[in-house]
Structure 1
């Protein structure tokens, strides 16, 4: 199995380490040629979403990656990656891939001093460690979006067809269960093409 990891900015190395520990080959996606390579899954890491969005377009990666997501490529998106997937941002007019029918609030917990750690229920996995760093949360979800986790009433994890979106950083705490769940969704052989039109 080979998973592409967006590697233009942000916390991509930590994701790669977990995937490699789980026996998965990683392909760092740094340019348009990389984005057109065949992969069985995609990780959009945390970082700075405005910078990532700008680089995706400048490096000719935006359209090929969006086409893959719309076609049903399994995606795990964390923090900034969630913002890239969101159809709508509550406090920003920008839109990026816009394939995940949720409304997301950027920097919802304040700046870095407001970052925090907790453990909460996540789907069927039980309690998992969650590290939030200048994190967004999900204000509302569209039809058929499954809510996987909440913290203090705020939605911080969802699944929609081929996409898993998280407000937090599962790669920072040494717990592999969320990544394993993502890999299981790939090996299950399910394809869930999206219905959204290109932006």
Structure 2
């Protein structure tokens, strides 16, 4: 005999115990690129929010195991926040992350470094401490603390079309004990320079200082775009990651 309680149940109705009813994520896997944030120093939370706004899935990287290829842990890109470059170098060595990161970056992993992160991605660094180790990857010479000490930190509106920063909507750049780029190799693209009035001297075509560059899958800025809540630089980086994926 047919159970009356089931007589009028539509054939296509999904039972509440179906896996997709219990776990909706099974029906909609996360297709966003996974971008790690090196969480040794710096604005990890702010970078995470900016990456989410730019359409990526941020994850925290604190140890070498977080760089692995296990399911759910593969990184499509990496952000190296600001901080203090000598301390960052020391921690990378202590946590046995320096060599794995160099290998990943050398193999083409997209990486974005802000402030101290720019220093870490430079092939040559002026003012470095003796024995200080860097990741390298961008054919440039960077000067540490070039804009001065913390009390000399400042902000400036940048016009940088390749970062979607136009005269009617400039990019507010926040410099905190920031480096600048002294020179770049032929394969490096200059994305932004300061105005000549603030940091006159060697640098861009207008006499300003080079503060944003790109080479291949690597991006670096002297300033902290994450601090002001502007995610246009992160938009550019996520696009670089997506194109490579």
TM-score over 0.5 for the pair: yes
Q: Is the 8 A contact 2:46 2:229 kept in 1?
A: no
Structure 1: any 5+ residue segments left out of the alignment?
Answer: 191-199
Q: Is the 8 A contact 1:150 1:157 kept in 2?
A: yes
Q: Which residue of 2 aligns with 1:122?
A: 160
Q: Which residue of 1 aligns with 2:82?
A: 46
Once superposed, what is the RMSD of the aligned Cα atoms? Answer: 1.3
Q: Is the 8 A contact 1:105 1:136 kept in 2?
A: yes
Tell me the distance in 2 between the aligned counterparts of 1:26 and 1:134: 26
Runs of 4+ in 1 over 3 A off after TM superposition: none
Tell me the distance in 2 between the aligned counterparts of 1:29 and 1:82: 18
Tell me the distance in 2 between the aligned counterparts of 1:25 and 1:177: 16
Q: Is the deviation greater in 30-39 or in 130-139?
A: 30-39
Cα shift readout 1:136-170 (whole Å, capped 9, x = no counterpart): 00000012100000013100000001111110001
Q: Which residue of 1 aligns with 2:147?
A: 109
Tell me the distance in 2 between the aligned counterparts of 1:184 and 1:35: 21
Q: 1:166 aligns with which of 216, 221, 244?
A: 221
Tell me, what secondary structure is at the counterpart of 1:172? Answer: coil
Tell me the distance in 1 between the aligned counterparts of 2:215 and 2:161: 13
Q: Which residue of 2 aligns with 1:82?
A: 118
In proportion to residue count, which structure has more strand? 1
Deviation of the 1:22 alpha carbon = 3.3
Count of residues in Structure 1 that have an aligned counterpart in Structure 2: 190
Cα shift readout 1:10-67 (whole Å, capped 9, x = no counterpart): 1222101111233422121101111224100110000111111111111111111111
Structure 2: any 5+ residue segments left out of the alignment?
Answer: 1-32, 197-207
1:68 and 2:68 are equivalent in the alignment: no
Bigger Rg over Cα? 2
Q: Which structure would you say has the larger RCO, counting Cα contacts within 8 Å and 6 or more residues apart?
A: 1
